[in-house]
Amino acid sequence: MEKTIKKMKLIKGFFIAAGLMLTANAANAQQKIGSVDTNDVFESLTEVKTANTTIETLSKTKQAEIEKLISQYQTKLKAAQDKEKTLSEANKETVTKELMAAQTELETLGKKIEETRAQAAKDIAAKQNELVNPIQQKVKTAIFTVAKERNLSYVFDVAAQGANNLIYTDGSEDITSIVKTKLGASATTAKPAAKK
């Protein structure tokens, strides 16, 4: 009887140990998921408001330059159209030369307007990158820090619409190759999985 009690205690101890191990594994297997609204975060930052004001001012300045060129173009076009109305047999040679010169000038000015528009777009994009990229990096770093502090495995951006709204992962198991194998596809990865 004593041996049976010892065996029962041993079996009971084994089951308790196994239960504790399974509970510990289940707790480890749980992954915490978080979310963040990056639009809300960005809108609350004074740096974003300052950057937006700077970009808006630059845009208005560039637009004023373009409008000035357009005004010059319209003035020269109107003068050429008015000159064309004075065309007669008596002044045909002189007016034709003046109209050809005006046409060349208008073409040159039209090209300048297009070049100025293209350069303005580049300048505005460059200024936007210069001002916004450091803010985006600051927000990303803050999200990663909070995710680690809160022991989150994944953080999704609720402001991002579509499939690409995962902005943080702790490097959990990537099962891509296993799924590919199960589906009969090539198990090699097309590109290495990058930690976001």
Q: Is 159 exposed, middle or buried (0-12, 13-18, 19+ CB in 10 A)?
A: middle
Strand partners, 52: none
- CA–CA separation, 15 and 23 (whole Å): 12
- CA–CA separation, 49 and 64 (whole Å): 22
Domain ranges, ordered by start, for the chain:
31-182
Per-residue confidence in pLDDT tens, the chain, 196 aa: 555 565 555 455 444 544 544 444 444 557 788 888 888 888 888 899 999 999 999 999 999 999 999 999 999 999 999 988 888 888 888 989 999 999 999 999 999 999 999 999 999 999 999 999 999 999 888 988 888 888 888 888 888 876 677 777 766 555 556 666 766 665 554 444 444 4
Strand partners, 35: 156
Residues in CB range of 41: below 8 A, 6 or more apart = 139
166-169 and 154-157: which strand pairing? Answer: antiparallel
